[in-house]
Amino acid sequence: MVDTSARLSALRSQLSKNNIGYYIVLTQDEHQSEYTSNADDRREFISGFTGSAGTAVIGHSKAVLATDGRYFLQAASQLDSNWELLKQGVKGVPTWQEWVATEATKTGSNIAVDPKLISYSEVKSLKSLLATKGGKAELISLEDNLIDLVWANDRPSRPLTPVKILHSEYTGKSFQEKLTQLKDEIIKKNGTAFVLSALDDVAWLFNLRGEDIPYNPVFFAYAIVTADGKASLYIDSNKVTEKVAEYLKSGNVSIYPYEKAFEDAAELGAALLRINKSTSGEKKKLIIPNAASWALVEALGGPDSVQMIESPVTVAKSVKNSTEVEGAKLAHIKDGVAVIRYLAWLEKALTVDKLVLSDYEAAQKSLEFRSQMENFQGLSFETISSSGPKAAVIHYSPATDSKEIVKLDQIYLLDSGGQYLEGTTDTTRTVHYGEPSDDEKRSYTLVLKGHIALARAVFPEGSNGYMLDTLARQHLWKYGLDYRHGTGHGIGAFLNVHEGPMGIGFRPAYQNAPLQVGNVISNEPGYYEDGKYGIRIESVVVVKEVKTPFNFGDTKFFGFETITQVPLCQKLLDLSLLDVEEKQWINEYHASVYKTVRPYFSEEDPALEWLRRETLPIF
């Protein structure tokens, strides 16, 4: 736990100096990234909370940290006495927006935020909320980031690692083809240009990968593509090798300094005004993503100059082509082999060798097995290696000096993934190497029933993950149980492990993102008994078209193909809770896993016997 007293005191001095009542510190960087570089971990610095989602609001006498159900336990253990935890989604608990609007209205204080770090849509919502409260409180933009001033010389620098080309054997489409597709979308929307701010959109569009954010192969950059096909990439020149420069030149891409992006955005806005003044027809717009920052909107000339839409790059990126789908399958085969070897090793280490292992040491061993796989580029997120009560902390990641021991008589949960040139993986398996209790077996089986229900789902074209979420929760609900996280998220192609716009869960935004053939998405229901154990079963699936006996209304029907290649834990099954079809699904899945990964194991491989045993039919 970090003592934040001195940091808060220094920040409050800045509040007084700038005549500010409350200061908002969001998780994201200028590109609205979910995961950030060390240089952008401002919320973590000021609060001590290390989770990937949350917002801090600091006033002269109060400080609150708002986060969702994935992080309640983690935040409660990491926040010191200076902070109040706002558990988002819990009945009676205000959102951070409601909290700050109410507090600021009481005193008539201004609320400040760095305009580059908050989306314009969030600004509109907060201003609207303030208006309903009445009073004199206003939301103002503050160019100087106050956390950076407090952090000062201790703030890390951003990486300068050169970017790399991801060739078409992995992408399936050249960046020139992608630029042409984007240009057509701009014209279709009657726009003059599209401004890309999301890092994974930029990386995908140009078939480039970087190392600026841990676990996410992206790099800091903006891009502008105009309706006449001109493309500009704004990136630190230190990251552009001669080879990359020539590669981009082949597609007529101009390269500019990262800092010039906002200057050119302002020029685009000025040019748009001239165009619209000279024509009496339909006014043109600059097109930007829904998540674009307040600062970017203002640089382009304000809200009247822009059309905010779901990024066509984000949508195109989420629909994997055949090369990317095959790459995802191969990545999951290799990753499955590594995870199988690890789980077999861990069983022997605990039951035969009687090793005493911390959860961090166990996680490092899983990394060792992944590192042996061809084209492995690194982990896709920080490994969740947790035993017993720690498994109930949904996004628990062990510290290097962790004293938490992986115990034979407790549930062990491993949520981990790898980055491969072929694709990105994300797998969770919950196991038990001792004798699980009836309660643990019941909970595991209920979670598995939901997992199977979703994996077997068939649904008409146009269906979305908001609609399907119930399938994964239904069996838990019958017992009055549930989990506080989504059921599925999109996964990139050697890109971010969390990818939109689609997902499976209760977020209203998922209603606007129908599932499409080629989407790669996770299936991960869970259950968490605070202080005792946690269970999650996560496999990755690909949306595919399925043949049905009938074709009502000439509608296409879709389903899922599970591509994760790791057995389920038979020891945790309560067979009395499974029907015949569910048992058959388990048998078929295990037979498929064995057939798929068996060629990667020699007869001398110590994991082979474990694989054979864990994939035996259950009836």
DSSP 392-413: GSTT----TT---B--TTSEEE
Angle at 614 between CA 608 and CA 403, to 5 degrees: 90
pLDDT, residue 3, reads 96
Tokens representing 324? 């990317």
Give the contacts of 6 (CB within 8 A, at least 6 positions apart). none
Report which of 216, 231, 135 is spatially closest to residue 182, judged by C-alpha positions.
231
Report which of 83, 84, 142 is spatially closest to residue 110, judged by C-alpha positions.
142
pLDDT in tens, 491-505: 999 999 999 999 999
Give the contacts of 590 (CB within 8 A, at least 6 positions apart). 567, 568, 614, 615, 616, 617
- In sequence order, the β-bridge partners of residue 191 are 285
Q: Please name the amino acid found at residue 557.
A: F
pLDDT, residue 280, reads 77
In the chain, which residues have pLDDT < 70? none
Tokens representing 287? 């097109």
pLDDT in tens, 193-233: 999 999 999 999 999 999 999 999 999 999 999 999 999 99
pLDDT, residue 195, reads 98
Domain boundaries, the chain: 5-154, 164-318, 322-614
Q: Please name the amino acid found at residue 235.
A: I
pLDDT, residue 279, reads 82
pLDDT, residue 262, reads 97
Report the distance separating Cα 359 and Cα 363, nearest Å: 6
Report the distance separating Cα 429 and Cα 536, nearest Å: 7
Q: What torsion do the CA atoms of 7, 8, 13, 17 make, to the nearest 10 degrees?
A: 110
Report the distance separating Cα 591 and Cα 594, nearest Å: 5
Report which of 459, 455, 485, 454 is spatially closest to residue 470, judged by C-alpha positions.
454
- Overall fold of domain 5-154: Creatine Amidinohydrolase; Chain A, domain 1 (3.40.350)
- For residue 335, the tally of other CB atoms under 10 A from its CB is 30
Report which of 280, 225, 319, 304 is spatially closest to residue 516, judged by C-alpha positions.
319
Question: Taking all residues of the chain, what is their mean pLDDT, rounded to a whole number?
Answer: 96
Residue in the block written with tokens 């952008």: 40
Q: How many Cα atoms sit within 13 Å of 419 on the Cβ side?
A: 21
- Same CATH fold assignment for domains 5-154 and 164-318: yes
pLDDT, residue 52, reads 85
Report which of 328, 344, 402 is spatially closest to residue 612, judged by C-alpha positions.
344
400: phi then psi, degrees, rounded to nearest 5: -60, -30
pLDDT, residue 491, reads 98
Q: Are 191 and 287 in contact (CB under 8 A)?
A: yes
Report the distance separating Cα 85 and Cα 191, nearest Å: 43
User: In terms of CATH, what superfamily is 322-614?
Assistant: Creatinase/methionine aminopeptidase superfamily (3.90.230.10)
pLDDT, residue 283, reads 87
Architecture of 164-318 per CATH?
3-Layer(aba) Sandwich (3.40)
